[in-house]
Chain A
């Protein structure tokens, strides 16, 4: 099976802009989670989607949003970008069984100038 794919891999934006990141889960996986990774805060949970519904949300401002499509692909959006949003954004997918392992994609490296 192909792994989790994320596009784009690298992105440069300026403050105030918005950005959309895309994630395609492993075939058959219906849960998609997003994480932000920074040197200072480490890996932090953003949100999780299952069957097009957001089930969990981390402690991030409303500028961070996401959605999931019927084919399980997911997008996350960050509006009004701030310098502190520079990070590696990781997507992970899981199967349908409770507690199944999350498998991560390579991430999208976002730099906000």
Chain B
């Protein structure tokens, strides 16, 4: 079936640098996308979301970009901090009222102090 995937399994960045985590999705009908952060021993934590009628959304230090033409999603973290070290997942869903999320494999972000 269709699924969401990630380009890079691991990413190491220097503290203070910007991080970019990428995600490819294959279901062109997907209309809602979410980024989650999961720290060791914890459940996924919501970071930011975006709907298919948008191509960019900004939060506090984070920005999500959606390119529907190439079915690509990215998460940008500004001024990466040690506390940002975690595994990041993108998730997608489609259809009004659907709560069934399809998750990517995850990218491990390591911040070097």
Partner of B44, one of A31, A44, A48, A90: A90
Residues of A within 8 Å of B89, CB to CB, are 43
- Complex formed: what's the CA distance from A60 to B79 in Å? 41
B68 surroundings in chain A (CB, below 8 A): none
Interface size of B as a range: 20 to 34
Binding site for A on B (CB under 8 A): 31-32, 34, 36, 41-46, 49, 51, 89, 91, 93, 96-106
29 CB < 8 A contacts A-B: A4-B43, A33-B101, A35-B101, A35-B103, A42-B103, A42-B106, A43-B44, A43-B89, A43-B103, A44-B103, A48-B99, A48-B100, A50-B99, A55-B99, A90-B44, A92-B101, A94-B99, A98-B97, A99-B31, A99-B96, A99-B97, A101-B46, A101-B49, A102-B46, A102-B101, A104-B43, A105-B43, A106-B41, A107-B42
Closest to B106 in A: A42
Give the number of residue pairs across the A-B interface with Cβ within 8 Å: 62
Residues of A within 8 A of B106 (CB): 42
A64 beta carbon closer than 8 Å to chain B? no
- What are the 6 tightest A-B residue pairs by CB atom distance, in nearest-first order? A104-B43, A43-B103, A104-B44, A56-B100, A48-B99, A106-B43
- The interface residues of chain B lying within 8 Å CB-to-CB of A105 are 43
A93 to chain B, nearest CB (A): 10
From A42, A44, A90, A94, contact of B43 by CB (8 A): A90
